[in-house]
Amino acid sequence: MSFARGLLVAALLALGGAVAHAQLAAPRVSDAAVAGPAFPGKLSEFGFFADGARQRPARGVIPYALKVPLWSDGAEKLRFIYLPEGSQLAADGEGLLQFPVGAAIIKTFAFGEGAARRLIETRVLLHRADGWVALPYRWNEEQTEATLALAGGRLDLVTPAGEAISYAIPNKNQCKTCHSRDGKVIPIGPKARNLSREWLGAMWKAGQLDHVPAGGGSLPDWRTRATGPAEPLARAYLDVNCAHCHQPGGGASNSGLDLRWEQSDPHAIGIMKRPVAAGRGAGGHNFSILPGQPDASILLYRMDSAEPGIAMPELGKASVDTDGVALVRRWIAEMGK
């Protein structure tokens, strides 16, 4: 069981009422740091963790996991949300959960396992009265603190696949590139369809979610990617990894691609769709997706590259997600049968 999944199991138990005495006595989050106007210089100023190095959450901070993950060079993601006392999430169909002002979404990126695990960065989304604010924090070598990195940063590391890369911590403006729709910063991860019904049900029973929507948990399980039906898994992958930009109002809306899970128009998702601009990113190909011919499809060509100017996504990736590429390849190949 991975560390992140272990945290999720613990969260479900806690939400069901089996909260350990130590957690009840854990430090509380600073609502002033979350909702106030300042950009705290240290991650610890928020109080999100009772033990940051072990990613043990403070009281009121709830772990969660996604059914289909977002690829970030194979990093393990440790995900948490914080809700101010007495507040709750609101479900809006199968899409993004609606967070109250004063809430926070916390995501730590880590590489390695066990004693060799290294925390790289923690990104926070803070829901303030004037909207969402995205801030990146970089962990020190001692793993004792993460410091605000408004300008981002880079460090050399080796991925779980054994590939040496230059890992990029995004700057504050780059955070907005993905977390933006119609010019406003928004969350992109916690959609009801990409959260388990068990987690949603536990949140509802704890009074921290207004209801469990019918479409909650509807995305397929990523663990079945090698053998499960290709179409729903590939569509779910594109929804999670690409649709935050490739949708109306997104950062890449000018491409004409709409890769959201709910989009049903074949042309909108790229099938037999010609690119808006046929630059080097097209690789000499004519269609985003050419049924039955993955190697002639622009979408797969860009997914299967780590070269700047060609690679998609443009940010948050220095290596190729071989599992994602294999799945999308199988999906496109099956279109010709």
Q: How many CA atoms lie within 13 A of 259 on its CB side?
A: 28
Token look-up 């967070």 returns 99
248: containing domain: 222-334
250 with 157, same domain: the answer is no
> What three-state secondary structure class fits 39?
coil
99 with 192, same domain: the answer is yes
Q: Write the pLDDT tens digit of every residue in 256-276.
A: 899 999 999 999 999 999 988
Going across the sheet that includes 146-148, the strands are 61-64, 76-82, 104-111, 118-128, 131-139, 146-148
Q: Say if 273 falls within a structural domain.
A: yes
Contacts of 277 (CB under 8 A, 6+ apart): none
Q: Write the pLDDT tens digit of every residue in 154-172.
A: 999 999 989 999 998 888 7
Residue 109: strand pairing partners: 77, 121
119 with 253, same domain: the answer is no
110 with 172, same domain: the answer is yes
Does residue 32 have a pLDDT over 60? yes
Looking at residue 62, its pLDDT comes to 97
Alpha carbons 11 and 39: distance in angstroms, whole number:
28
Q: What is the 3-state secondary structure (H, E, C) of 61-96?
A: EEEECCCCCCCCCCCEEEEEEECCCCCCEECCCCCE
Alpha carbons 99 and 87: distance in angstroms, whole number:
9
269 with 172, same domain: the answer is no
- Pick the last residue of a domain from 180, 205, 230: 205
180-181 vs 184-185, strand pairing mode: antiparallel
34 with 125, same domain: the answer is yes
Task: Name the CA dihedral angle for 128, 110, 114, 66, rounded to a multiple of 10 degrees.
Answer: 70
The mean pLDDT value for 286-296 works out to 96
pTM of the predicted model as reported, rounded to 2 decimal places: 0.87
Does residue 28 have a pLDDT over 80? yes
177 with 244, same domain: the answer is no
137 with 229, same domain: the answer is no
241 with 157, same domain: the answer is no
- Pick the last residue of a domain from 178, 205, 232: 205
Residue 12 backbone dihedrals phi, psi, to 5 degrees:
-65, -40
- The count of structural domains within the chain is 2
Q: Write the pLDDT tens digit of every residue in 235-244.
A: 999 999 998 8
16 with 165, same domain: the answer is yes
Q: Say if 216 falls within a structural domain.
A: no
59 with 164, same domain: the answer is yes
Angle 272-69-109 from CA coordinates, rounded to 5°: 130
DSSP letters spanning 233-251: HHHHHHHHHTTTTSSTTST
The mean pLDDT value for 121-131 works out to 96
**125, containing H or E segment:** strand 118-128
